Every structure is written in structure tokens, then in C-alpha cells.
Amino acid sequence: MDILKFITAGSVDDGKSTLIGRLLYDTDSILEDQLEAIKNANRKNDDGTVDLAIITDGLKAEREQGITIDVAYKYFQTDKRKFIIADTPGHIQYTRNMVTGASGADLAIILIDARKGVIEQTIRHTFLVSLLNIQHVLVCVNKMDMVDYDQESFEKIKHDYLQFSDKLTIQNIEFIPVSALRGDNIVIKSRNMPWYGGPSLIEFLETVDVKPFATSGKGRFPVQWIVRPQTDELHDYRGYAGRIVGGSFKVGDEIAIMPSGFRSTITNIELNNDQKENAEEGESVIIRLKDDIDISRGDLIVSASDIPEVTKDLEASICWMDLRPLDLSQTYLLQTNSKLSRVKIQDILHKVNINTLEEIPADSFSLNDIGKVRIRSADELVVDSYAENKATGGAILIDARTNLTVGALMFN
């Protein structure tokens, strides 16, 4: 049974937490003690029914204000699929939380209030989804009960959304009219919208063909650990442990060690003390080589036929995550997989007004700002573009003074 990881995003009060609560409630995915606690809670809807948003609003401030602040993860499964849900905050001041929650998602559910239509925050969240290269988007037009299940309202929102999203790089966009509060088209098809002939939300999630993020297929293996037992039995043993993040490797393949460029041949691939002839993307293995080469944690083993560029100068999209503004005079730490390097932000190329998608000049970044920068590294770096490979094309920026993560980077 495969796993679908998806996020929910939308404007404040669009009903993200209620939708997830309804989804869990109607699929019988809530434990009895949790259900009892929810029924005994003080929060009720106007009609006296239980407020299902409580299920995902875990922070005290969220329950008091009725908004999502942190990323809430929920897990459930049906007979057809397992699911991991990241309920991400919709407010602009928590943009960094949404970026964190969306970074590993296969699909994004964007909620739109049927009464309000496409608004600035809808554009903002869709832009972030596009920036993070999530290629499948489901637009749930929520609160259809508030517009008397009117088809024209739904069709107008669909038209407006497709009009602005054409500027972005999202491959698949689908639409479902729902009422999270009433349960219309969440698990059971709604009788209130006979004009809608598509699937319910759960039917869509169970059947959507979302393949894992398609990398370029180029062999990529970041070295996380050098295995040297140095026992009498394994006196000369030397292996390189890590997880394959792109392509595949097999015994006999010629490889290159980056950034040094030295070449060798794979003699063994090991997994749990078993010998393998080949290993695919996603597998954690030990690779052994024909030659003794100086390889360190953070080096990258690549297919000899697909050698990436080695450079100290990079351009990247960035989401700034710190209360302190970006300081061009400050040296930061850049972490790509297991490699840590000292870098400086040489130049701010632009900032994005993510309400209008306009690129504007900027001399600094504040909390939740998004834009593009030019970076200079003290070490030679080996990266792919984020569009080719998220694992080797993404990184985090760390403030060396506080050891806090201050930025998320996507290399261009």
C-alpha cells in the first residue's frame, strides 16, 4: 500500500482544519478517546455540532483564536492508501511554516472560500506550491453551503484560478466543490450539487496517480558516513554509507567522487549485510569501491556519465525564516545534505511580491520574504537545479552565531 503525502493551504478561515477534521471523522480515523475529548470540548459550531477543527489545532493559541499557526501532521489510511496530511497555516506571518510543511508533499490541496473567491493569499499559496515544485494541485472550493451550492460561483472561481495559475509551473490542477462543515463531497458525494459529476475528496485522494518526485535520473549518492570497522576480521574494510537520492547504481558502474573528480568502480553494494547487484533511488546502502580514495562525509558519489558542475558561485530562490533581516556582511553556513560550507550572500537579485507575482528590487530580506539571491561559497559545491532533484538542489541556510535555520534555498 503506497503513501500519499499532501498539504492543505488556504486563507485564514477558509476551513482547512475543518476539512481535515471532517475527512478523519467521516473515514472513522479518530480514536474513541480523542472523539470523546472533542465532544466534551467547549468549541461548538453555530448549529451546536462539534467543531472538527479541534482535531488539528494542537496549540493552545490555535484553539483560542481558531486559526492554524504551526504545521499539524495527521496520519490515516483507507483500504486503498495510506495518507500523511500536513495542515499548514494560511496567515502571511507563518509563510515559513507553510514552506516547511510543503517541502516533502506529493500533492497540495488549496482551499478557497466560495463566498470570497480567489484572493491574495490564494495566489501566495499557489506561488509557494509552484516554487516548491509540487506538480499536483487540488482546489477545493469550500463553504458551498454558504452560496446555496451555486454552480456559477464554482465555475467563476475555477476560471479565475486557472487564469493566474497559467503563469506558474504546475502540471495538474483539479477542482472539487465541497462543504467541510456539512460533509458535502468530502467522503460521500453530495446530493446538493447534482451538477458536479466528479469524485468526492476521498475518492480523488485514493485514486490520484501521484508518482514520487521524478528526478533527472542522474546517479546521486551523498556520503553520510565512512564505514571503517578496523577489526581483525575486517581490517581493510572501507565502505561509504548513505541514501541514493537520484538514479541508480550497480556493481561494476564507473563513478566519480565530487568535488574532487576522482574516478573509481563500484565493487560491492551492501544492505543489512546482504550483497546487492544494484540499488535504486530511495535505498540506504553501503557502497564499496575498487580504489582507496580520500572521501569525506559530504562528498557526492555520482555516475561517471552524469557529472554535475562544480562551482563556488550559485543563484538560488530563498524563503527567509528569521526574525533578524538578512545581513549581507554576515557569513552564514549552507547545508546541502551532509555537507556544511561557509557562504556569503553576494547580492539580492530581487524580492517577489507574492500577492502579484511581481519581481521587485530589494536590499534585504525580512521574515517570510521570498526572492532570489547570488551566493559565494568558501568551498566548491556540487548541486543540481531544484527542478531536477530536490535532494541535491535544495539547502538550508544557518546563522553561525545562533545555529538557527534562517533560510530555505532552492538552486536554479
pTM for the predicted model, two decimal places = 0.80
pLDDT-derived band at 123, boundaries 50, 70, 90: confident
**Residue 329: CB atoms within 10 Å:** 6
Cell numbers that stand for 87 in this block? 495542515
Grid cell in block for residue 266 = 563500484
3-state secondary structure of 41: coil
pLDDT at residue number 71? 63
175-211 per-position pLDDT tens digit:
999 999 899 999 999 999 999 999 999 999 999 987 6
Using one digit for the tens of pLDDT, what is the confidence trace for 268-292? 999 988 999 999 998 999 999 999 8
Q: For the residues 404-410, what does the mean pLDDT come to?
A: 92
Q: How far apart are CA 10 and CA 136, in angstroms?
A: 16
Say what the pLDDT of residue 67 is: 41
Residue 397 makes CB contacts below 8 A (sequence gap 6+) with: 318, 332, 333, 334, 343, 405, 406, 407, 408, 409
Please report which confidence band the pLDDT of residue 406 belongs to, taking 50, 70 and 90 as the band edges: very high
- Please report the pLDDT score of residue 362 as a whole number: 93
Report residue 65's pLDDT band, with 50, 70 and 90 as the boundaries: very low
For the cut 90, the answer to whether the pLDDT of residue 60 exceeds it is no
| Confidence tier at 32 by pLDDT (50, 70, 90) | confident
Q: 308: Cβ–Cβ under 8 A, 6 or more apart, which residues?
A: 218, 258, 300, 302, 382, 383, 384, 392
Q: Average the pLDDT over 237-255 and give the result.
A: 94
**Residue 69's pLDDT band (boundaries 50, 70, 90)?**
very low
Measure the CA angle with vertex 377, ends 131 and 214; round to 5°: 35
Helix axes 95-102, 120-131, angle to 10 degrees: 40
233 vs 278 pLDDT, higher one: 278
The confidence score (pLDDT) of residue 7 equals 87
Of 27-36, 151-160, 352-361, 401-410, where does mean pLDDT reach its minimum? Answer: 27-36
Question: What pLDDT was estimated at residue 149?
Answer: 96
- The C-alpha atoms of residue 192 and residue 338 are separated, in whole angstroms, by 53
- Characterize the bridge pairing of strands 370-382 and 339-353: antiparallel
| Residue partners of 345: CB distance under 8 A and separation at least 6 | 326, 328, 332, 373, 374, 375
- Give me the chain's average pLDDT, please: 86
| pLDDT for position 382 | 92
pLDDT given for residue 59 in this prediction: 38
Residue 236's pLDDT is what? 81
- Range 239-264 average pLDDT: 94
Residue 239 or 102, more confident = 239
C-alpha cell at 162: 486557472
Residue burial 74-99, b: 16+ Cβ < 10 Å; e: rest = bebebeebebbbbbbbbeeebbbbbb
